[in-house]
Structure 1
Amino acid sequence: MTAAIRLPVAPRPFRDELLSSWMVRVASRYGLEVPDMTAYMAGQRDTLPLLRQIDDTAPDPELLKIWARGCRIDPARLERLSLKFRHHNRPRDWISSARGGGVSVCFACFDADVAVGRDAYIRADWRLVERVVCPVHKEMLRDRCLECGAHLRTSFRLRTGLLRVFCAKCECLLTGRGGARADRADTAFTEGTLTFQRQVERIINGDKGHLALLERTIRALWAPLDRAGAARPVLALWFDQEGWNCPFEARAAVGAPAPLQHLSVRWRVLTLVILGDLFGERMVPMATMPEAAARLFRRAAPIPRAPYGRRAAISKGEDPIDIVTRRVQRLSKSPVPRWNGNFEDERADFGRVRP
């Protein structure tokens, strides 16, 4: 039986690094993929765990032991890289599952890493669902490659002694092109979105009642409209274009329990903007729902008239969202023809509708 292998040199994880990012950096230094590196460090042992995809949220303890021993590092240090340890009080729905290996990144952060002479790496907080703007560089996160337009999947390669991040599909270098700043209009929009992002973060890390209200509000916005087979969310009424349909890439969020999990960065940004537009700084309805929001949510389902009135219902402890969105129809399973909807880059301006 071959003993477990210990690597002569292995890069140390950064404090804010994603666990899988560190594993990829170690494997890339030796020209291997992560499963191959795991098998190499484990040796020919009967207790080798299945070489399944790395779970950044709650990693396999046996897998961590193999990497800790092979890289000569404290296992507790690797455990602290997991999202479960970093955000132990955060609901799972507010941590991106990163299906298909996709990731949202800040190109300016990669440029900053190279500028100080260290490997580029994936930040753990980029996996938080509400994180759409980099708080350091005030730039929008990217989940699509600027060259090929595909959903972003990353790979690491050595360049001039440092690991750089590349698009796994077209193999282009992911860079902010010298960190050029956006124009003033884009900067103002980004700073406004960052304000919404911080407000949502405070709700998530604060009162559980406000978080539950926020989740119900977002579910109501992405609930299907009352027209059968439309597969359109309630927030479609916020637009000013008649006949606007939910883009195909966002359709999975309509009627889903945790809609933000299924959305790209651009649609998560739109959700935050609509929350700020409808409810202001609180991002959730308090006591009574604003009339503009009520007009949107009424289209989700017919509203049964309470025998004691709406204000009396609220005074009896019923949530205003539950009153407006009661009996929401389930999402129709019928397919939506692609030529009946708006798709990516088909329309750039996102105007408001004032019902």
Structure 2
Amino acid sequence: MMVPARLPVAPRPFRDELLSSWVVRVAARYGAEPLEVMIYLAGQGGRDAGARQVDDVAPDMELLRLWAKACRIDPERLHRRSLPSRYPAQPRDWFLTETVPTCIACFDADVAAGRDAYLRGHWRLAEQVVCQSHRTMLLDRCSACLGRLRPSFRMLNGLLRPFCRRCDAVLTGGGGEVEDPLKVDFAAEVLELQRQISRIVRGDSARLDRLDYAIRTLWAPLDRDGAARPVLALWFEQPGWNCPFEARAAVGSSAPLQHLSVRWRALTLVILHDIFGPDLVPGAVLPEAALVLFRRAAPMLWLAHSRDARNRKGKRAIDVGADRVHRLSKRRFHRLNRNFLDERGDFGRIHP
């Protein structure tokens, strides 16, 4: 029987580090990608483990045991770095599943502290769009090449530093976002909305259910066939606005925030505040602005049924107050706008 491999150098995970980030840091110490190290460890008795990757949301304990043995760490300590263990009250739909936005100022703080740069766990929470430590917007686009940001980590002056995987630009030394007063003010306002949303997501299940309902409806397709526009398009002042390509995957999705970039997630929070006020969620009676938006949503069966077991006992509170909206939305022509052949027939920006 083969003896499991032991890696001679294995950095310890930081307290707020993503599990996948720690795996990347371990592999980077050997100038390799995590998959290469995983295949090596699997070859020491891990069966087909080399074909899989460590997942932050649903980690495979077999893989964690391989890494734990190789790095001489308690596997339970690694498991506690997974997102469900770190945020047990966070629903799965509120974890980002694609790219991880980053805060450049946090990377600069790593440089100043003389430690490896790493990815923070809370960056993968869907409601997180502003860094709470530095009050700057998180970035998911490289400032150098403007492409989708996918950091890679390499040794630089004895420590790991983040680089853009696409253009190879170093992601430290810039001080984060440019100190534009408008950006600073916007980030401060969104930060407060972000905190409110976090309390709702990990708090009262009834309010979370209504919040999910509102977000899915805002990102539902319009009732006009072929419009390629979500319902929240009516919130804008441009009647002919079409949904950008980067946000189209969210239209009609049961978990829109998972498919949205930072700026679109931030805008969603702003629209929720604009329509529903400080509570950010609809109540039993919808405001007039919400009625106008919600009645323009194309009929969607999943809006009438809860996806969570906590709501299976009865009809959701938001459904009780919005039955009339559903009846109107199922009409071929809306009573306030009968000409869907012309984009100018759509409403402009709507406020409460």
- How far, CA to CA, are the matches of 1:322 and 1:199 in structure 2? 27
User: Residue 35 of structure 1 corresponds to which residue in structure 2?
Assistant: 35
Q: Could you list the per-position Cα deviations for residues 23-63 of structure 1 after superposition, in whole angstroms to 9, with x for gaps in the alignment?
A: 00011001111122123334442635242232111111111
The SS at the match of 2:49 is: coil
Are the aligned partners of 1:2 and 1:43 in contact in 2 as well (CA < 8 Å)? no
Q: In the superposition, relative to structure 1, how do residues 180 and 219 fare at CA in structure 2: closer, same or farther (>3 Å)?
A: closer
User: Residue 51 of structure 1 corresponds to which residue in structure 2?
Assistant: 51
- How far, CA to CA, are the matches of 2:26 and 2:322 in structure 1? 49
Does residue 72 of structure 1 match 2:72? yes
- Unmatched segments (≥5 aa) in structure 2: 300-314, 331-342
Displacement of 1:115 after TM fit? 0.4
- The residue correspondences of 1:308-319 to structure 2 (distance < 5 A) are 318-319=319-320
Q: In the superposition, relative to structure 1, how do residues 317 and 222 fare at CA in structure 2: closer, same or farther (>3 Å)?
A: closer
The SS at the match of 2:258 is: helix
- How far, CA to CA, are the matches of 2:328 and 2:71 in structure 1? 55
RMSD: 2.3
Displacement of 1:4 after TM fit? 1.4
Provide the aligned length of Structure 1 versus Structure 2.
320
- The residue correspondences of 1:338-353 to structure 2 (distance < 5 A) are 352-353=349-350
- How far, CA to CA, are the matches of 1:8 and 1:317 in structure 2? 57
- How far, CA to CA, are the matches of 1:195 and 1:298 in structure 2? 29
What residue identity is the alignment partner of 2:190?
T
Equivalent residue in structure 2 for 1:163, among 150, 157, 160: 160
Displacement of 1:274 after TM fit? 0.1
Does residue 249 of structure 1 match 2:246? yes
Q: Could you list the per-position Cα deviations for residues 259-315 of structure 1 after superposition, in whole angstroms to 9, with x for gaps in the alignment?
A: 11111111111100000111111001223111122112222259xxxxxxxxxxx9x
- How far, CA to CA, are the matches of 2:176 and 2:248 in structure 1? 34
User: Residue 19 of structure 1 corresponds to which residue in structure 2?
Assistant: 19
Equivalent residue in structure 1 for 2:172, among 170, 175, 185: 175
User: Residue 212 of structure 2 corresponds to which residue in structure 1?
Assistant: 215
What residue identity is the alignment partner of 2:320?
D
- Farther-moved stretch of structure 1 (128-137 vs 2-11): 2-11
Does residue 266 of structure 1 match 2:267? no
Are the aligned partners of 2:39 and 2:50 in contact in 1 as well (CA < 8 Å)? no
- Farther-moved stretch of structure 1 (111-120 vs 171-180): 171-180
- How far, CA to CA, are the matches of 2:241 and 2:19 in structure 1? 41
What residue identity is the alignment partner of 2:81?
L
- Unmatched segments (≥5 aa) in structure 1: 303-313, 330-340, 342-350
Does residue 103 of structure 1 match 2:137? no
- How far, CA to CA, are the matches of 2:167 and 2:59 in structure 1? 30
User: Residue 143 of structure 2 corresponds to which residue in structure 1?
Assistant: 146
- How far, CA to CA, are the matches of 1:254 and 1:320 in structure 2? 24
- The residue correspondences of 1:316-331 to structure 2 (distance < 5 A) are 318-326=319-327
Are the aligned partners of 1:216 and 1:321 in contact in 2 as well (CA < 8 Å)? no
Are the aligned partners of 2:38 and 2:49 in contact in 1 as well (CA < 8 Å)? no
Are the aligned partners of 2:104 and 2:175 in contact in 1 as well (CA < 8 Å)? no
Q: What is the TM-score with the length of structure 2 in the denominator?
A: 0.85
Percent identity, aligned pairs only?
59
User: Residue 129 of structure 1 corresponds to which residue in structure 2?
Assistant: 126
Q: What is the TM-score with the length of structure 1 in the denominator?
A: 0.85
Equivalent residue in structure 1 for 2:280, among 278, 283, 297: 283
